[in-house]
Amino acid sequence: MPITTAPPRDHRIAVVLAVLFSGAFVMGCAEMLVVGMLDLIAADLAVPVSAAGALVTANALGLAIGGPLLTFLTIRLDRRTVLLGALLVFVLANLLPALAAGYPVFMAARVLIGAVQGLFIAAAFVTATSVVPPERIGRAMAVVVSGFAMSSAFGLPVGTLLGQAVGWRGSFGAVVVVGVVVLALALVVLPAVPTPRDSRGAGQARYAFAPRVLAVLALSSVIFVAIQSALTYLVPFLDRVTGVSGPQVSLFLLAYGAATAIGSFAGGRFADANAARSLVVGSTGVTASLLALLLLGGNGLLVFVAVFAVGLFGMGMAPSMQFRVTSLAGPGGPLASALPASAVNAGIAVGSLAGGAAIEVAGVRAAVLTGAVVAALAIAGAWLTRGLVPPAGTAGAVEDADFSPPAPAQPAEER
């Protein structure tokens, strides 16, 4: 049988997507490192564990608010320039905790890291979808989404082990080293993705914040309110209801992390096939999984399957969320690309609060019940939004990017 090779352009596309995946992965690792090293950070900085936990909140707020704001402010720049700038600031900001910054500086750095992470997400989605044909846009988005999912599934435990071996600052030092490598690769392989000359932030905002887009963003938030209401308190649920504690708990957490990685990558095909329908199916799957967790919580094997299913269906919807928001925004797609991450982070924050409030009233099972009820509302929302369409007269696909290498800078006297 003769061996066939893909056209050179296909190889170049794969390289570009690999760099975007790597950038998403290292940024996701930096976001989650604090979670795995709270005790180490709190002891070294002489602050309470709750204050160390606020570093997680700072990153989330930076992403949710700063990401869209920076995207708005840089909307007229080439996406290649934006990606390189975001990676550079990310590396410099992570140098601060690596080089013995105190708590106040670390807190400020976390806000900045979250903001440039949100900026990178938006620019990465635009770049990824600009280098593939229209029928593969969902899969291109899934590459970026899966970079962040993989960082939670595998980067977090590896980073935590590294922190225990060389200290938490050494762990951030490793992030800086990897970030520099990704920045160097990005400088070589990322294509130019210019923004149309007549594109303005205010004009894009009119489309990016249209009611049809806000409806899908609200749905995205509700889905993650449902998931996080239950999953935030999975460890006490396993202890008190399932009878699982100690090292066995890590198996359930690993299953959830692996499921999110698988779901985020596989979800791209479903987004390409029918993103609106994928949100209906995914919401139904999350609801059924949470109900199974609630009703079968005493059976360890079935709980393991239910936890895996929540991660699979939940993150399997992520590419479809991104696809729906950017397509419904039409000309405002570049700005709208930053919004799903903000909506998801808002849902995570509200879900954690809702689950905690439910536990205070009726015990740990109530957190899972809350998640199941909210997930059922998400089914209705997904069904109601399935008929929304992009604005009339707008193209559904982004034009191919310029794959020619960046031109060398001209000397000042020649300009």
The whole-angstrom separation of Cα 6 and Cα 345 is 39
User: What's the CATH code, domain 199-390?
Assistant: 1.20.1250.20
Output the pLDDT for position 347.
87
Per-residue pLDDT at 200: 60
Q: Count the Cβ atoms, other than its own, within 10 Å of residue 238.
A: 22
- Cβ-proximal residues to 2 (8 Å cutoff; 6+ apart), any chain: none
The rounded distance, in Å, linking the Cα atoms of 162 and 123 is: 30
Chain segment 222-263, per-residue pLDDT in tens = 999 999 888 878 888 888 888 887 778 778 888 888 898 899
What is the pLDDT at residue 402? 42
Q: Tell me the chain's radius of gyration from C-alpha atoms.
A: 21
Closest CA to 57 of 128, 106, 10: 106
Token pair for 203: 């004009």
CB neighbour class for 306 (10 Å; exposed up to 12, middle 13-18, buried from 19): buried
Count of CB atoms situated within 10 Å of the CB of 97:
28
237 close to 368: Cβ distance less than 8 angstroms: yes
Q: Phi-psi region for residue 181, left (φ > 0), alpha (ψ -120 to 50) or beta?
A: alpha
- What is the reported pLDDT for 181? 96
The single-letter code of the amino acid at 83 is: L
**CATH homologous superfamily for the domain 9-195:** MFS general substrate transporter like domains (1.20.1250.20)
In Å, what is the CA distance from 282 to each residue of 28, 88, 271?
Answer: 23, 36, 11
So what's the pLDDT on residue 222?
A: 95
For residue 324, how many C-alpha atoms fall within 13 Å in the half-sphere facing its CB? 31
DSSP letters of 159-207? HHHHHHHH-HHHHHHHHHHHHHHHHHHHHHHPPB-PPPTT--HHHHHHH
Which ranges in the chain are annotated with CATH 1.20.1250.20? 9-195, 199-390
CA separation for the pair 38, 81 (Å, rounded): 34
The ranges of the chain with pLDDT < 70 are 1-9, 156, 159-160, 196-202, 392-415
Residue 131 contacts residue 401 (beta carbons within 8 Å): yes
Please, where are the H alpha helices in 99-167?
A: 103-130, 137-150, 156-166
Distances (CA, A) of 47 to 2, 32, 114, 167, 168: 64, 19, 22, 17, 15
pTM over 0.95: no
